[in-house]
Amino acid sequence: MIRHTVVFRLKHAAGSAAEQAFLRDALCLTAIPGVEKFEQLRQTSPKNPFAFGFSMEFADAATYQAYSDHPVHCQFVNERWIPEVAEFMEVDYEPLA
């Protein structure tokens, strides 16, 4: 199992219609085969500059790679993520044992 997480800050004003549209449109990622336990999260700690997070799980590395290469993911990244995300950090985890 791989847990793919990304935390980010948008270029849009907090609470704006553009912010809400981005979050709504990101739900397209849930339709990609292999995506499990997709969550959209709001940052509550003042310890970092990121406002939101996405978390999802994949059965294995091949499924995660298929997600990364999927046309819906690539389109979202190119048309929404790159133009609208100001800063992000991606972290992917596998269970230790």
Q: What is the pTM assigned to this prediction?
A: 0.93
Q: What architecture is domain 2-93? A: 2-Layer Sandwich (3.30)
Distance between alpha carbon 87 and the CA centroid of its chain, in Å? 12
pLDDT tens-digit series, residues 15-62: 999 999 999 999 999 999 999 999 999 999 989 999 999 999 999 999
**What's the pLDDT score for residue 10?**
98
**What confidence tier does 97 reach under pLDDT thresholds 50, 70, 90?**
confident
49-85 burial, b for 16+ CB within 10 Å, e for fewer? ebbbbbbbbbeeeebbeebeebeebeebeeeebeebb
Instruction: Give the start-to-end residue ranges of the domains of the chain.
Output: 2-93
* Rounded alpha-carbon distances, angstroms, from residue 1 to 37, 53, 60, 94: 12, 19, 5, 6
